[in-house]
Amino acid sequence: MKFAPVAALALGLLAAACSDSANTASTGNAAVDPNGAAGSALGGTAGGMRAGAGQPGSQEDLAATAGDRVYFATDSASVGADQRPVLQRQAQWLAQYRQVQAVIEGHADERGTREYNLALGQRRANAARDLLVSGGVAGSRLRTISYGKDRPAELGSDEQAWARNRRAVTTVQ
């Protein structure tokens, strides 16, 4: 019977972890919080230090400590106010690792033509890059590319999948 409190605690932690990954509905320009991040609609890979951040200066470190992606509203390349803190943390992270170069990948959901989504993905990547540069990152360290709808983060034809696919991802090179 001494294990009952431990088992209950483990089940509670498991339930909390599952609820943290649940998506939070939102209204207005933002759609769905793909990460379940508290306090931020569509908040990228949440900020703050996490265990298992990987080697300093790595992609895993960027994702864990700053967040590596921002999300966009439908048919928009404007970085929402709720997404700007992610890019500010990325700029701070890149300032800490001056040897790192990055590629900002622009993505779109499956709706629309391939050409439209490639152009939209490029605008999204450029918008994220522009905010990183305004945050002090040298433009020569950043490159952009658009994948349009060709590399979805989540397969599906519903708002949740589309929200996760409307993104710009910063990748360490």
In a domain, 67, yes or no: yes
What confidence score (pLDDT) does residue 52 get? 61
Which tens digits make up the pLDDT trace of 57-70?
999 999 999 999 99
In a domain, 157, yes or no: yes
**Distance between CA atoms of 15 and 11, rounded to whole angstroms?**
6
In a domain, 19, yes or no: no
At position 110, the amino acid (one-letter code) is: E
Domain containing 148 equals 25-172
Which tens digits make up the pLDDT trace of 94-122?
999 999 999 999 999 999 999 999 999 99
What confidence score (pLDDT) does residue 51 get? 57
In a domain, 4, yes or no: no
Read out DSSP for 107-159? E--SSS-HHHHHHHHHHHHHHHHHHHHHTT--GGGEEEEEEETSS-SS--SSH
The CATH number covering residue 99 comes to 3.30.1330.60
Distance of CA 18 to the CA centre of its chain: 19
Structural domain tally of the chain? 1
In a domain, 159, yes or no: yes
The mean per-residue pLDDT over the stretch 123-148 comes to: 98
Read out DSSP for 63-110? HHHT-SEEE--TT--PPPTTTHHHHHHHHHHHHH-TT--EEEEEE--S
Element containing residue 54 per DSSP (H, E): none
In a domain, 61, yes or no: yes
**Distance between CA atoms of 23 and 21, rounded to whole angstroms?**
6
In a domain, 5, yes or no: no
Which tens digits make up the pLDDT trace of 5-56?
433 433 343 333 333 333 333 323 333 445 433 333 344 443 444 556 789 9
In a domain, 30, yes or no: yes
